[in-house]
Amino acid sequence: MSELVPNALHAELRALIASSRQRLAGAVNAELTRLYWSVGQRLRAEVVGDTRAEYGAKLLDQLGQQLANEFGRGFESRNLRRMVKFAEAFPDAAIVSTLSAKLSWSHMVAIVALKNSQARQFYAQHAAQDAWSVRELNHQIERKAYERTELAALQAPIPQTTPALVFKDPYFLDFLGLRQGHDEADLE
């Protein structure tokens, strides 16, 4: 048996394993993000629903200590606060489900830290759509991509479409069958 067959087989199996690991990591990430959102929603209802801020802070500290002892550092009070912010920033479960399939919890932590809700939506959409890494997302936030886009939109002239411009368009004239035997000057 040639050495090429085991090498090709090894490469194929290696690709299968890597692909499976990638899908598994994506599924785990999506489930973890949805869990954090659900925890945040529940805490938000309990903590924000109660107008006593001191009570809410103590409750998060107590729950954070209990949950961290049982489930690890990911559930410390600091992260519980992030989960509440996440649930506040993205109250729609359907949007969270869509984003969780494409963005990690680290992405969400960076996005939720933003104060402007339109900026959060912008960065979440672009990070998911353009498959930004967390590093790229942070870079885009640092260089103020949202603010630059907004500024550019404000400065861009709004194109004026008038009937005269539409009727001068040669594609429009062709579509209407007016180019044959007619000149643009005739139509003016």
109 and 170 inside one domain: no
> How many CA within 13 A on the CB side of residue 102?
15
Joined tokens for residue 100: 């969780």
Residues 79 and 137 in one domain: no
Q: Kindly report, residue by residue over 49-79, the tens digit of the pLDDT.
A: 666 677 788 899 999 999 999 999 999 999 9
Of 25-34, 81-90, 130-139, 176-185, the poorest mean pLDDT is in: 176-185
Region class of 76: left (phi > 0), else alpha (psi between -120 and 50), else beta: beta
pTM of the model: 0.72
Pair 27, 72 in one domain? yes
Residues 3 and 93 in one domain: yes
Domain check: are 75 and 166 in the same one?
no
Same-domain check for residues 115 and 165: no
Q: Which residue has the tokens 């924000």?
A: 48
Please check whether residues 70 and 18 belong to one and the same domain: yes
Q: Residue 179 pLDDT > 60, yes or no?
A: no
Q: Are residues 62 and 90 in the same domain?
A: yes
Number of domains in the chain: 3
Residue 139's domain comprises 102-156
11 & 85 share domain: yes
pLDDT, residue 131, reads: 94
Q: Cα(134)–Cα(115) distance, rounded to whole angstroms?
A: 18
94 and 73 in one domain? yes
Same domain, 124 and 73: no
